């Protein structure tokens, strides 16, 4: 294999592929799941990586001098290429001992590799799947509103990913829904999108957070269209000459309808920026893992204002206030994990945010009028 | 290191603590070989008095073996509540010397005396004063080591037990450690000792003098770590307030058992005991640990976090049930234990789960009802129905 390619062109597919390679075996190239497979043919390179759950195949145009393939550590290659000078033209060659030579200007590197045939073959019968083609902006905002609240605890597989539901709505439209939870909070977002070619029934699956994070990388590209295929136990996303295959999590997502509360009588609307600034300020003393016990944020809601308070046994306490216009009810107090409130403030882009409250034992619903199809549920803390 | 090099760390270790408390409280036991243990066919010695130790008897030894080695020994059942009370008294004395007291167990603590010269005089004086006060006020002997870091202080207190006072001035640290065997290095156990010996490293002096790169090649990152200790470089701080790190309950079984069904009743028992103690002490646990000891004395543990923190026996058990399959349950086990860790005050705010099974909340009420009965009639008065089988 011998290929000439610009650094900038190579970085795009390499960035995507190294994300799919298994992080846990990053320093070792003894394992194919830590490697990127490079195939040079015609006038293009195909970079592939897999950890058997998530698989990426990313294609890029290149000047192929001699076709062939190579299998080298994804992290190592990524680090080397990233460190090369911007604008450099790179010459990649692989020898019969599976060593890859990376040359740019006067510098060169050698990476020891594995026999390329050790990379597992990917043979999915794409003819069998249902296909949905949509504008990726929908998926982009849905991911942004759900990825942050996915559980990071893999002992709970059912919530280790985002629930994706597709419901045909007639007239060439489908309702896409994404739901995520870490057991303490939940995010649910819906979009009605045109999908004239979708011919399936209601479909739902769980995309593991690693696959969802890869999807986020994928749609950073310039191609506006995103193709989603449901093939057996797999989901395949394609965009921008890249194919991302994610194995669905085989578990039952918990019944989210049970915990998303109805509208409440007690609703308080706050300016989003002011609220998030105030939370950041009062939570300051508690950050940076000084204390892994989460201190509650006290919200005191009364006519004309919401006061925020946090106290930290070993440091002191902090107070802030946010003005509100509409509050008719009696004064109320709530405790929240400040991060839960802050995360929702961060993913929304609206001017205001509304908290619908019942009592300190019931979930609180957060939403904004400008993005009504996104709902966030957080569970108050209890003293 | 510049700031920490000038520290004065004292390590205090009570001499044969449980046995000494029994001998203090029961004069007829003084001067006699004593084994503190529940008297059963499979129990283990928790402490042997100094009179018993020349017979080759020590803690963690099976009681049956200890009795063979020292047939004249008197076996006394432990009274943990009493040891806890005495420990609290001792820690109060420790705390009067410095606010920085890090308890390692009921009978062992590090005390950071840095900057207390004005109060107690030289480190030697302070150490003697501490020993005298423990003797006068509690009637027990304590061995003390004083050095510039935790590791050396601990080695020093252990060197001439019992009733020892060993002072290692900072400038003599390396010379003090040099002749000591490598087995006294922190983290050197049965596995690494032969390896060190094979490399010709028999004393701490050998380790201190070795080429650092050579150590890395032969021992990996453990090498420089051991060399730092052998040179007396240990800047771990004294972290106060660690005494109540966990609440545990364990049982050495009458016969070795295999399989989940045989272990499970013991875990139920332990969870009930622990949950009761958590609630009595107004605590909740943020983690749970299952401990099993194999028939050949290998101690295995698995642990997990609990969110939200709990004092419910049922929740502790749920976690234990998840941890149990991580052990090889085909092996025979001789000890089953459960411990709650990451303890925190019960009035701290907790984050409830969105999907929490309402049964859990019912269970908290059940736990409280059980506690009320136990407070009146004792711990054995009520048990869960799932105990009935045994």
Task: Name the CATH topology of B246-381.
Answer: Dna Ligase; domain 1 (3.30.1490)
d(CA B390, CA B379): 17
- Residues 308-347 on B with a CB inside 8 Å of A are 322, 344, 347
Domains, chain A, ordered by start = 2-118 (3.10.150.10), 130-256 (3.10.150.10), 260-378 (3.10.150.10)
d(CA A90, CA A97): 20
Give the residue numbers in A contacting B (CB under 8 Å), as ranges.
155, 181, 183-186, 254, 258-259, 293-296, 335, 337, 361, 363, 377, 379-383
For chain A, say whether B353 makes contact (Cβ under 8 Å).
yes
Q: Which residues of B touch A383 (CB under 8 A)?
A: 347, 349
d(CA A36, CA A1): 15
Q: Are A104 and A92 in contact (CB under 8 A)?
A: no
| Cβ-Cβ contacts under 8 Å for B122 (sequence gap 6 or more) | none
| Cβ distance of A381 and B351 shorter than 8 Å | yes
| Cβ distance of A184 and B353 shorter than 8 Å | yes
Active-site entry in B108, B137, B171, B318? B108
d(CA A71, CA A119): 7
- On the 0-12 / 13-18 / 19+ scale of CB atoms within 10 A, A328 is exposed
Sheet bearing B283-294, strands edge to edge: B246-257, B333-345, B283-294, B299-310
Number of helices (H) and strands (E), helices first, in chain B? 14, 12
Q: Which residues of A touch B343 (CB under 8 A)?
A: none
- Cα A321 → chain centroid: 33
Q: Is the pTM of this model over 0.90?
A: no
Smallest CA-to-CA distance from B285 within B254, B322, B248 is with B248
For chain A, say whether B351 makes contact (Cβ under 8 Å).
yes
Structure tokens at B89: 């008294």
- For chain B, the structural domain boundaries read 3-16+81-171, 17-79, 178-230, 246-381
Closest chain B C-alpha to A149 CA, distance in angstroms: 13
For chain A, say whether B349 makes contact (Cβ under 8 Å).
yes
- The CATH number of B178-230, from 1.10.10.10, 1.10.150.20, 3.40.50.460, 3.40.50.300, is 1.10.150.20
Tens-digit pLDDT profile for residues A230-256: 888 899 999 989 999 999 999 999 999
Which H or E run contains B253?
strand B246-257
| Cβ-Cβ contacts under 8 Å for A215 (sequence gap 6 or more) | A139, A143, A207, A237, A244, A246
Neighbours of A290 (CB within 10 A): 10
d(CA B63, CA B69): 10
Tens-digit pLDDT profile for residues A332-369: 889 999 999 999 999 999 999 999 988 878 899 999 98
Please report the pLDDT score of residue A314 as a whole number.
61
Tens-digit pLDDT profile for residues B236-272: 888 876 545 678 888 888 889 999 999 999 999 999 8
| Cβ distance of A259 and B348 shorter than 8 Å | no
- The CATH number of B17-79, from 3.40.605.10, 3.40.1170.60, 3.65.10.10, 3.30.230.10, is 3.40.1170.60
| Cβ-Cβ contacts under 8 Å for B116 (sequence gap 6 or more) | B8, B97, B98, B126
d(CA A323, CA A321): 7
Please report the pLDDT score of residue B126 as a whole number.
94
| Cβ distance of B355 and A337 shorter than 8 Å | no
Smallest CA-to-CA distance from A6 within A99, A76, A105 is with A105
End-to-end CA distance of chain B: 58
- Residue A286: pLDDT band by 50, 70, 90 thresholds? low
d(CA A172, CA A198): 8
Q: Do domains B3-16+81-171 and B178-230 have the same CATH topology?
A: no
Please report the pLDDT score of residue A290 as a whole number.
40
Please report the pLDDT score of residue B380 as a whole number.
58
| Cβ distance of A155 and B322 shorter than 8 Å | yes
For chain A, say whether B358 makes contact (Cβ under 8 Å).
no
| Cβ distance of B351 and A155 shorter than 8 Å | no
Q: Flag whether pLDDT at A304 surpasses 70.
A: yes
Tens-digit pLDDT profile for residues B3-38: 445 899 999 999 999 999 999 999 999 999 999 987
- A283 in the Ramachandran plot: left (φ > 0), alpha (ψ -120 to 50) or beta? alpha
Cα-based torsion angle of the residue sequence B225, B229, B233, B237 in order, rounded to the nearest 10 degrees: 90
Residue of A nearest to B305 (CA): A153
d(CA B150, CA A91): 56
Sheet bearing A332-336, strands edge to edge: A316-323, A305-312, A297-302, A332-336
Please tell me which residue, A263 or A238, carries the higher pLDDT value.
Answer: A238
- The CATH number of B3-16+81-171, from 3.20.20.80, 2.60.40.10, 3.40.50.2300, 3.30.70.270, is 3.30.70.270
| Cβ distance of B322 and A382 shorter than 8 Å | no
Active site residue B108: yes
Distances (CA, A) of B112 to A6, A369, B109, B158, B244: 60, 58, 10, 18, 19
Please report the pLDDT score of residue B4 as a whole number.
42
């Amino acid at each position: 294999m011998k290929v000439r390619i610009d650094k900038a062109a190579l970085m795009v597919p390499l960035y995507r592929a190294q994300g799919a390679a298994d992080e846990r075996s990053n320093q070792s190239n003894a394992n194919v799941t830590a490697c990127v497979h490079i195939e040079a043919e015609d006038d293009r390179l195909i970079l592939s990586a897999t950890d058997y759950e998530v698989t990426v195949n990313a294609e890029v145009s290149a000047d192929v001098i001699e076709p062939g393939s190579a299998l080298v550590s994804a992290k190592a290659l990524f680090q080397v290429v990233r460190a090369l000078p911007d604008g450099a033209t790179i010459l990649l060659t692989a020898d019969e001992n599976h060593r890859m030579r990376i040359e740019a200007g006067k510098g060169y590197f050698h990476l020891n590799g594995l026999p390329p045939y050790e990379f597992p073959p990917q043979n999915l019968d794409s003819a069998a799947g249902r296909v949905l083609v949509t504008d990726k902006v929908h998926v982009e905002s849905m991911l942004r509103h759900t990825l942050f609240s996915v559980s990071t605890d893999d002992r709970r597989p059912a919530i280790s990913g985002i629930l994706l539901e597709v419901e045909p709505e007639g007239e060439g439209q489908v309702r896409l829904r994404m739901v995520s939870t870490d057991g303490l909070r939940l995010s649910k977002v819906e979009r009605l999108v045109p999908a004239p070619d979708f011919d399936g029934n209601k479909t739902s699956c769980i995309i593991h957070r690693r696959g969802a994070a890869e999807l986020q990388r994928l749609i950073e590209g310039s191609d506006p269209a995103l193709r989603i295929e449901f093939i057996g136990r797999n989901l395949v996303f394609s965009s921008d000459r890249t194919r991302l295959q994610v194995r669905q999590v085989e578990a039952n997502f918990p019944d989210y309808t049970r915990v998303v509360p109805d509208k409440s009588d007690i609703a308080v609307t706050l300016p989003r920026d002011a609220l998030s600034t105030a939370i950041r300020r009062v939570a300051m003393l508690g950050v940076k893992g000084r204390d892994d016990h989460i201190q509650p944020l006290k919200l005191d809601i009364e006519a004309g204002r919401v006061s925020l308070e946090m106290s930290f046994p070993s440091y002191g306490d902090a107070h802030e206030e946010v003005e509100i216009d509409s509050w008719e009810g009696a004064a109320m107090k709530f405790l929240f994990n400040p991060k839960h409130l802050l995360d929702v403030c961060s993913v929304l882009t609206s001017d205001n945010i509304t908290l619908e409250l019942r009592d300190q034992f019931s979930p609180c619903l957060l939403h904004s009028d400008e993005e009504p199809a996104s709902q966030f549920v957080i569970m108050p803390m209890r003293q | 290191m510049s700031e920490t090099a000038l520290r004065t760390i004292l390590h205090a270790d009570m001499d044969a603590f449980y046995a000494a408390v029994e001998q203090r409280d029961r004069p007829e036991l003084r001067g006699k070989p004593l084994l503190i243990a529940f008297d059963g066919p499979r129990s283990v010695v928790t402490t042997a008095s100094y009179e018993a130790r020349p017979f080759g008897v020590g803690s963690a030894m099976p009681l049956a073996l200890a009795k063979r080695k020292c047939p004249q020994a008197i076996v006394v059942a432990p009274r943990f509540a009493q040891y806890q009370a005495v420990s609290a008294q001792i820690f109060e004395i420790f705390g009067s010397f410095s606010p920085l007291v890090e308890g390692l167990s009921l009978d062992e603590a590090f005390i950071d005396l840095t900057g207390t010269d004005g109060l107690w005089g030289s480190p030697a004086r302070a150490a003697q004063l501490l020993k005298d006060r423990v003797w006068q006020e509690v009637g027990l002997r304590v061995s003390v080591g004083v050095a510039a870091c935790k590791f050396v202080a601990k080695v020093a207190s252990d060197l001439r037990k019992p009733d020892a006072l060993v002072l290692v001035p900072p400038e003599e640290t390396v010379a003090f450690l040099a002749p000591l065997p490598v087995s006294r290095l922190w983290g050197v156990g049965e596995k690494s000792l032969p390896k060190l010996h094979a490399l010709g490293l028999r004393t701490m002096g050998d380790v201190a003098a070795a080429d650092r790169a050579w150590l890395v090649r032969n021992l990996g990152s453990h090498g420089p770590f051991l060399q730092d200790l052998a040179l007396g470089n240990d800047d771990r701080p004294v972290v106060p307030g660690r005494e109540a790190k966990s609440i545990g309950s364990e049982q050495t079984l009458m016969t070795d058992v295999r399989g989940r069904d045989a272990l499970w009743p013991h875990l139920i028992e332990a969870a009930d005991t622990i949950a009761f103690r958590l609630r009595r002490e107004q605590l909740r646990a943020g983690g749970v640990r299952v401990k099993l000891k194999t028939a050949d004395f290998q101690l295995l543990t698995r642990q997990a976090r609990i969110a939200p923190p709990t004092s419910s026996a049922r929740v502790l058990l749920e976690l234990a049930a998840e941890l149990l399959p991580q052990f090889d349950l085909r092996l025979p086990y001789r000890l089953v234990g459960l411990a709650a860790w990451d303890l925190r005050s019960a009035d701290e705010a907790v984050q409830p789960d969105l999907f929490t099974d309402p049964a859990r909340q019912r269970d908290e009420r059940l736990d409280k009802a059980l506690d009320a009965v136990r407070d009146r009639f004792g711990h054995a008065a009520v048990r869960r129905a799932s105990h009935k089988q045994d």
